């Protein structure tokens, strides 16, 4: 709805100001047992929050336009065949495959890189440009990047693990962040403030210059 659209714009601007290369959202259309390819126990309750974040395809296009204007990429995690097609329609540079969807994602439907978290099951790369991200299903997470995979999806709610991963050569680090802590919901303990996100980005920039 309108509220979700305005919040998405705020988060794009915040991510860009912090120095992120991309901003990622979860994208939903009709999150039900029949429509999702990775339904799990407890999703009946989660679907209430998911539905509150729904936007039509044209609104996603406007969010993407702002991201492009800010010189960052818009990425999304998708869980329905309909929204997989939305990713294709928007010609996104890549798609994020959440750990819950890693084993059931329709990989053949999108001809683009897949950024795949492995917290609920590892899958072999489906393309040469697929990036596997070490992930942990616990929120907040406690594991550090262990160099086995090129990417790291960190849900620790601290900067320490992400910084350590970057300094040790990790090529892609994903973190949760919030602008307003009230928007973070149950993920708040696993999320960074915008200032903390900016620290992660500054360390990335410093490492690139070395």
| pLDDT, tens digit (0-9, with 9 covering 90-100), for 87-128 | 999 999 999 999 999 999 999 999 999 999 998 877 777 778
Helix (H) or strand (E) holding 197: helix 194-209
105 secondary structure, DSSP code: -
Could you tell me how many residues make up the chain? 210
Residue closest to 12 by CA, chosen among 53, 72, 60: 72
144 secondary structure, DSSP code: P
* pLDDT, tens digit, 9 for 90 and up, residues 181-203: 988 888 899 999 999 999 999 99
Residue closest to 101 by CA, chosen among 92, 113, 114, 87: 114
Residue closest to 163 by CA, chosen among 199, 127, 187, 130: 199
Contact 173, 202 (CB under 8 A): no
Instruction: Please tell me the predicted confidence (pLDDT) of residue 32.
Output: 95
Q: DSSP letters along 38-84, please? A: S--TTHHHHHHHHHHT---HHHHHHHHHHHHHTT-EEEEEE-BHHHH
CA distance 119 to 53: 24
Q: Spell out a b/e string for 72-96, using b for 16 or more CB atoms within 10 Å of the CB, else e.
A: bbbbbbbbbeebbebbeebebebbb
Instruction: Please tell me the predicted confidence (pLDDT) of residue 184.
Output: 83
* pLDDT, tens digit, 9 for 90 and up, residues 24-69: 999 999 999 999 999 999 999 999 999 999 999 999 999 999 999 9
Three-state DSSP class for residue 112: coil
Please give the torsion angle defined by the CA atoms of residues 79, 85, 172 and 67, in that order, rounded to the nearest 10 degrees: -110
Contact 157, 192 (CB under 8 A): yes
Instruction: Please tell me the predicted confidence (pLDDT) of residue 143.
Output: 92
Ramachandran angles phi, psi of 153, nearest 5°: -100, 105
Question: What average pLDDT score do residues 6-16 get?
Answer: 97
Helices and strands (H and E) in the chain: how many: 6, 8
CA distance 173 to 200: 9
């Amino acid at each position: 709805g309108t509220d979700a659209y305005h919040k998405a714009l705020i988060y794009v601007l915040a991510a860009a100001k912090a120095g992120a290369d991309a901003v990622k959202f979860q994208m939903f259309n009709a999150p039900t047992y029949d429509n999702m390819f990775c339904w799990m126990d407890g999703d009946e309750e989660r679907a209430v929050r998911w539905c509150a974040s729904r936007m039509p395809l044209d609104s996603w296009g406007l969010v993407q336009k702002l991201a492009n204007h800010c010189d960052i990429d818009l990425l999304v995690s998708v869980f329905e065949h309909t929204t997989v097609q939305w990713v294709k329609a928007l010609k996104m540079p890549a798609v994020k495959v959440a750990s819950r969807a890693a084993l059931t994602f329709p990989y053949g439907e999108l001809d683009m890189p897949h950024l795949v978290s492995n917290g609920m099951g590892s899958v072999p790369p489906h393309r040469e440009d697929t990036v596997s991200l070490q992930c942990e299903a616990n929120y907040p997470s406690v594991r550090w990047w262990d160099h086995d995979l090129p990417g790291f999806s960190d849900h620790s709610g601290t900067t320490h693990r992400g910084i350590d991963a970057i300094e040790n050569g990790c090529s892609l680090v994903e973190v949760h962040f919030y602008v307003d802590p009230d928007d973070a919901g149950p993920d708040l303990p696993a999320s960074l403030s915008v200032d903390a996100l900016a620290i992660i980005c500054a360390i990335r920039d410093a490492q690139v210059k070395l």
